[in-house]
Each structure stands twice: as C-alpha cells, then as structure tokens.
Structure 1
Amino acid sequence: MTEAAGGEAAWESAWKVLAPVTDLVTPMAVRVAATLRLTDLIGGDRVPVQELARRSGTNADALDRMLRHLTHQGVYTEPEPGVFAVNEPAALLASGHPSGMRARLDLDGFGGRMDLACTGLLHTVRTGEPAWETVFGLSIWSHLASDEHLGATFDAMMADGSDYLADAAAGFDWSGVRHVADVGGGTGVLLAELLRAHPGLRGTLVDLPDTAGRGRRFLADRGLDDRCSFAGQSFFDPLPAGADVYVLRRVIHDWDDGSAVRILRRCAEAAGPRGRIVVIEFHGGTDAAPAMRAEMDLRMLVINGGRERTLEQYRALADAASLEVTGTHMTPLGHLVLTCTPAAA
C-alpha cells in the first residue's frame, strides 16, 4: 500500500468513528428545513423541487442539493428524481407536531439562535465567558429586547408544555399565601396558572419592561390582570416589597454564581423576615440522562454564563445570599423546589 493510499484509508477509518459527532452539514440542513417549514409546504404530497422552491422562496438548485443530502440521512424521501415527500422523521418538523421541534430548530427564532451561539464555543472555553455577545454582537437580554420576533419566540419556549407548567405550580403548598411575586416571570404563564388554581391569590409580575408589557396583555386576555400588579424592571434592582412568596422559576440557572446570589439577595430584601423565597428549577430527577444534563450545562455557559446545579450547589447559593433552606423536594416531572427564608428570620 502506498503512503497516499494508507493516509486515505486512515482518513476513512477515522471519519467513520468521528463523523457522528463532527458533521455540521446535516444538523444545519435539518434546521434550514425547519426554518423554511418544508414539511408543512410538502404536506402529504409528492412535490417537485421547482414547485417546493417556489413555495419556500428558495433557489431550486440549492434546495435540491440540500434535500438530496437529507434523504441520504433518512430525513425526507425522493420517490422519483427531483420530487420529494415527507417520511416519519421529516414529519417531526411539522409546525403542529406536539414535540414543538420545528420551533426549537427554527434559525429565525430563539431555539435556532441558541444553537448558533455554540459557534462561539471556542471563545467560551478559552475565556470562561458566554459566547452569545461574541456571536451576535449583543448580550442575550439586549438581543431579545431589540428583536420583537426573537423575544416572542423566547417567551413561547419559556412557557413550556401545560403539564410541566402545572407540575411546577404544584411544587409548593400555596395554601395561606395571599400575595406571590413572580420574579423573572416572563409573560406570566406560571402566575396565570397559580391565579387560576387559587382564586384568593394576588400576584406581582416582575420582568424587564417589554416583557412585563407582554405579560400584562397575556394576563388581561385571560381575565386575570385585575388581580396583578406589574413591575417592569431588572431583578438586580430593589424588588417590590410585601409579597408573602417570591418565586424564581427557571431563573437562577441562567446566571453565574455571583449574579445568582445577587438575585436571591434582592428577593430576601423584599421578602423581609416573614416572607419566603421559592426556587424552582428543572432538574430532571436522579434518573435524568447524564448526557442531557451535561449538554444543558454547557449550553447555559455559552448563552449567558449560567449553569445547571446540584441540590448542594443551590444550597451553597442560598447560604451565600443569607438564606436558610427550609425545604427541598422533587416534583413528579423532575422540578427541584427549594423553599428558603431570610436567615435572620
């Protein structure tokens, strides 16, 4: 065997091993298909690529090449040359599919942008700093505030499914609570769930001004705004005082330790000696796949410097914020719930 032939054989052998974890073409092609809504545009038909290009506003030659690659990867089929159809994997990209995968992969929405932020992973690994601003030119929160569509898709992703939302809401005993402040509460999906379930409860929604404005409309559409007040502000600033409970649902994991402690301290200041702080994070439980948790931990670092934490790490944050953890438990769907009180109490 010649040296050149030996090198070619070594390359082929290495590619077979590494291709599944190094191929960027296929993941991007799937995301482009999702962004263009190709599954919706094909439907149950067999569609010639020229017609599909017309429907999707794309270049027919480029679209043909991309779809041919995807068919070799098992996504879509080509029943005859230049004609494409939806198969079982491609059907997962339908807009109406309950998995929500199309939206999560849409490069024009938050899900796809979150993936694109990972192109800055080298910066993050070299510096320990998030990559979002390096990739997009703005911090994630400034980016969301400046792009209405991106902000709306972020809100939709944070809303979760109704079952997970109900699971989080039921993770704390709300009996006896008269007033809850949902800190970093987005458009108020958790607050709406709580207000519907507890007619005597009042709420305060705290989030950045644009988000709080969308929250006001969301709660008004559900006839709940008369039981709410709205604080359009950063949760790094002093929070509205006087609520019985300050709840932080899937907020702390967005932030590094120092920022997380600052948020918890603001909650403690507002809660006073009689209030409680409830931290709700999706933990996945003890049976959660380690690979899934490791991926999410890396994603949080790349996006905003956040991290997924263990129970002991959350306890350490509470201690640093002068909070006493008075209760912890796991919900049926894997939310970790910590109840805290100011240590002086």
Structure 2
Amino acid sequence: MGHEILDLAGLATPMAIRVAVTLGLPDRLLGRAATAEELAAELDVAAVPLELLLAHLTSLGFFEPTGDGYRTADRGRELCGESLATVLLRLDTAGGRAELAFVELLHSITTGESGYRRRYGQDFWADLAAHPTLRASFDKQMDLRFRDQIPGIVAGYDWGRFATVVDVGGGTGTLLTAILAACPGTRGTLVDLAPPPGLGDRVETIAGSFFDPLPPGADAYLLSDILHDWDDEHAHRILARCVEAAPPDGRILVVEPVGGRRASTAIDLAMLVIFGGRERRVEEFRALAEPHGLVLDAVVDLAADRCVLEFRRATA
C-alpha cells in the first residue's frame, strides 16, 4: 500500500510527460526512430538527461525502443498534435504554467489565496497581460475546451429567447458566434480586452474589461467560465457591472461548472490554486447574487461539466 501511495503522489511521471510534450518528443518520434543523442542535437539539450527521460517514459509505454533508438508507441500518440490535453501539458503555455502553481497548494489551503501569485509574483491575468504568447495560448486553450461542448451548450438552452446578448469576457467569441448561428434573430456584442475582428455582421466587438461599464440595454449578459476565476470580492464587482447595464427585464446568464453538481473536486482545487476562486454551489450563487437584487430563476445542466444559471431582478 505504501508504494501505491508513493506512486500516486510522485511527481516524476507527470513532470516527465509535461517535459516530453513541451519538447515535442511524441511528434518528433511519430513514425520515425531516433537516438537520444540525435534528438539532443536537434533540440539543443543535454543527451544523457534526455536518455533518462526517454527511458522512464518508455517503461510506461509512451515510447518503445527500436534498433535505431526510440519511437512513439501507441500510448504516446495521445500526446501528439494539438489538442486540449497537449496545450495544457506544455510548460510554456498558460495552462501548463498555471498547473505548476500546485506546488503552492499548502499556501492556498492555509490562506485561501492564489498559489499562482505566490509562485510568479503576480496573478494569472496580469501574467497573461505581460506575456502575449501566454495570452494566445490561453485563448487557444479555451477554444479547444469549448469546441466539443459548444453544440451541447447551444442545444441545451433556449438562447433564441433573447434578441440581444452581450458575451462578457467572451475571449475569441467562439461560443457567441455558435449561439448566433443557431439563433438567426439574435444579435451579439463581444466584450473582451482584445476581441478579434471579423466575427460577422451580427456581432459588435468592444475592447474592455468586465470590471468597467458594459454596453447597456441588452436582453441577456452572458458570463461563461468567468465567475469561478475570481474570489467573491471580484465576482461581486463583475455582477454589479452586469446589473448596472441590464434593463429591468434583462437576464444575467452564468455558464460554468457548479459545485456538487457538475464540477469535479480536482477542478475545485485548480480554481483555488490558480485564481483563489472555486466552483460555487447553487446556494453560493444565490448568496452572491442577492446583494445585487438578483434571484436565481433556473439552473439547466448543459454539456459535459457545465450548467447555465439564469438570474433576473427580484422586482422584474
């Protein structure tokens, strides 16, 4: 039993996988064989340590030895190409860098604060702003995360009820454009720090933060995977901006995992360590919304691990 616990808790294997993906080893050795010395020369890394890495991952079935060196085994094919998994595993992407903040889990558990800030000296969002390549990788990560879920998110809720939708912090607009494609009578506004151009004639893009005033008068304000990235203080500020902009009969729509319902315990810890946030439970959402005069009208289970929570003004 002791060895099983050590194997489960050991960091050698998860870090070896992440380093191999960061170096692109599964792709380099897909359909070809090469020695550690040849790969080291290609990558400009040390040959002996690279041999140690390949030997360990070979023992786990990710690579296999041949007469000409190593090549990617069937199990290792899962680490090839560009997918959500490989984007999150790479140590030079926003997701991979964020995962390393788990070394500060003790700090987060004892203080309730983000481990990311302790490790990197600034919070996740400031880090993205300071490193455009991290920001680009984060946008790609979110697009890949939503790609398989968007059909279920769009089909699982009556978005066509709303003539106008403001996607608050909507990134590259992937979800908003899918909603509009399914709802010809709906127009959208995408608000993000650096929204992309050319999303179609029914989409207006506005550069801005959800901590600043939002475009007023829309039927619905969509917060997709936003509130769980923030502690209660910041979540209140975001909701306040939505309520400030919404008309009396407007709706605030929150799409994200809900604690105890559609969220895993591992994601809960990730939200804590990376952002100082959490996957709130339904009652916590109600408590968060109440000071803003909002009541929870409905909770609808969507694709995979997400729900949509629909809020309205208590007086509407």
TM-score between the two structures when normalised by the length of structure 2: 0.92
Structure 2 unaligned residues grouped into runs of 5+: none
Aligned residue pairs: how many?
315
For 1:175 and 1:130, locate their aligned partners in 2 and report how far apart those are by CA, in whole Å. 38
RMSD of Structure 2 on Structure 1 (CA): 2.1
Is the counterpart of residue 206 in structure 1 residue 191 in structure 2?
A: yes
Letter in 1 for 2:70: F
Which amino acid in structure 1 is aligned with residue 233 of structure 2? G
Letter in 1 for 2:269: L
- In the TM superposition, what are the counterparts of 1:32-43 in structure 2 within 5 Å? 32-43=19-30
2:290 — aligned with what?
Answer: 319
Query: Is the 1:171–1:337 Cα contact (8 Å) retained in structure 2?
Result: no
Distance in 2 (CA, whole Å) between partners of 1:304 and 1:332 is 24
State the alpha-carbon separation in 2 of the partners of residues 26 and 324 from structure 1.
47
Segment drifting more, 242-251 vs 129-138 = 129-138
2:196 is the alignment partner of 1:196: no
**Distance of 2:146 and 2:32 partners within structure 1:** 30
Q: State how far apart, in whole Å, the 1-side matches of 2:47 and 2:225 are.
A: 43
* Matching residue of 1:267: 242
Q: What does 1:75-154 align with in structure 2 at a 5 Å threshold?
A: 75-80=62-67, 83-96=69-82, 100-154=84-138
- In 2, are the aligned partners of 1:77 and 1:85 still within 8 Å (CA)? yes
Gap change, CA 1:333 and 1:118, over 3 Å in 2: closer
Report what 1:248 is aligned to. Answer: 223
CA separation of 1:268 and 1:128: change in aligned 2, threshold 3 A: same
The one-character-per-residue Cα deviations of 1:193-226 (angstroms, maximum 9, x if unpaired) are 1222223322111122xx32xx22xxx1x5x1x3
The aligned counterpart of 2:40 is 53
Counting aligned pairs with the same residue, the percent is: 42
Q: Residues 299-338 of structure 1 correspond to what in structure 2 (within 5 A)?
A: 299-338=270-309
Aligned-partner Cα distance in 2 for 1:293–1:33: 27
**What is the SS of the residue equivalent to 2:148?**
helix
Task: Report the Cα offset of residue 19 of structure 1.
Answer: 1.5
The CA distance in 2 between the partners of 1:238 and 1:125, in whole Å, is 34
Rounded to whole Å, the distance in 1 between the matches of 2:105 and 2:305 is: 28
Check the 8 A contact 2:219/2:247 in 1, yes or no.
no
Mark the structure with the bigger radius of gyration: 1
C-alpha distance 129-147 of structure 1, shift in aligned 2 (>3 A): same
Q: Give the superposition deviation at 1:163.
A: 3.0
Task: Determine if contact 1:179/1:203 at 8 Å carries over to the other structure.
Answer: yes
Q: In the alignment, does 2:149 pair up with 1:174?
A: no
Q: Deviations over 1:84-126 (max 9, x none)?
A: 1211221111015xx5322110000022112111122232123
Instruction: Mark the runs of 5 or more structure 1 residues left unpaired by the alignment.
Output: 1-12
Out of 86-95 and 163-172, give the one that drifted further: 163-172
Contact 2:223 2:253 in 1 (8 A): yes
Give the equivalent residue in structure 2 for 1:7: none
What is the TM-score with the length of structure 1 in the denominator? 0.85
**Where has structure 1 moved over 4 Å in runs of 4 or more?**
283-286
- Aligned residues of 2:26 and 2:77 also touching (Cα < 8 A): yes
Q: Distance in 2 between matches of 1:95 and 1:101?
A: 10
Q: Hey, what does 2:254 align to over in structure 1?
A: 279
Residue by residue over 1:112-144, the C-alpha shift from the partner in whole angstroms, topping out at 9 and shown as x without a partner, is 112111122232123211011221122111111
Amino acid at match of 1:232: A
**Cα distance between partner residues in 1 of 2:114 and 2:138:** 18
Post-superposition shift, 1:77?
Answer: 1.8
Change (3 A) 1:18 1:335: closer
